[in-house]
Amino acid sequence: MNKDRRATITDIKGDIDDLRQRIEEVRDDEQEAHDNMPEYLQDGAPGQKMDEAIAALEEALDALDQVEGPLNTAAA
């Protein structure tokens, strides 16, 4: 792989890092909101929806991790 294509992959990895940070912020905000809810809401439908959203954000973070490995291999 030439220098220009490696630089492009480096840029893409930077974009992934930015996305990861933004997703983590949203996840953390959602978790904090959930934790600050009264317990009866945490155990009810609103809390369950928030739990599902947090889990989905975790899955998105895992997917970003899976993308990064092959990019590292390609740029090596």
Domain residue spans of the chain: 3-75
Tokens of 29: 């905000």
Residue 25 CB burial class (10 angstroms; 0-12, 13-18, ≥19):
exposed
The amino acid occupying position 34 is H
Say what the pLDDT of residue 30 is. 98
Q: Which two tokens stand for residue 38?
A: 């009264």
Looking at residue 44, its pLDDT comes to: 93
Residue 1: predicted pLDDT: 84
**Dihedral (Cα; 44, 46, 49, 55), 10-degree rounding:** -80
Residues of the chain whose pLDDT is less than 50? none
